[in-house]
């Protein structure tokens, strides 16, 4: 789905940006150009950003929740 029509930015672009470290709407503006023209995409871009960040954090937390994690830390 397109999030920003003016810059042809999709949800997938936002997910990729989050995987690359984007965490704020400002990051998406700098990397993808969202909100730089008409600005109507701001709310939707923020929602997509929050969802992608939540998903990225859940993935990171699930790897930390690995039962072998303490042993991995001790072994390191
Ligand atoms: S829809 Fe994103 S700047 Fe216009």
Average the pLDDT over 8-31 and give the result.
Answer: 97
Q: Is the CB of 9 under 6 A from ligand 1?
A: no
Q: Is the CB of 49 under 6 A from ligand 1?
A: no
Mean pLDDT score of the chain, rounded to an integer? Answer: 89
Average the pLDDT over 4-9 and give the result.
Answer: 98
Q: Is the CB of 34 under 6 A from ligand 1?
A: yes
Q: Provide, rounded to the nearest whole percent, the portion of the chain with pLDDT above 90.
A: 72
Where b means 16+ CB within 10 Å and e means fewer, 8-20 reads: ebebebbbebbee
The pLDDT value given to residue 43: 97
Average the pLDDT over 2-19 and give the result.
Answer: 97
**Fold designation for 2-75:** Arc Repressor Mutant, subunit A (1.10.10)
Domain locations in the chain as residue ranges: 2-75
* Residue 14 or 56, more confident: 14
Q: Is the pLDDT of residue 53 over 70?
A: yes
């Amino acid at each position: 789905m397109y999030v920003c029509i003016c810059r042809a930015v999709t949800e997938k672009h936002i997910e990729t940006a989050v995987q690359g470290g984007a965490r704020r709407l400002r990051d998406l503006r700098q990397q993808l150009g969202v909100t730089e023209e008409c600005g109507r995409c701001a709310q939707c871009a923020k929602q997509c950003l929050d969802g992608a960040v939540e998903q990225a954090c859940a993935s990171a937390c699930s790897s930390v929740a690995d039962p072998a994690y303490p042993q991995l830390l001790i072994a390191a």
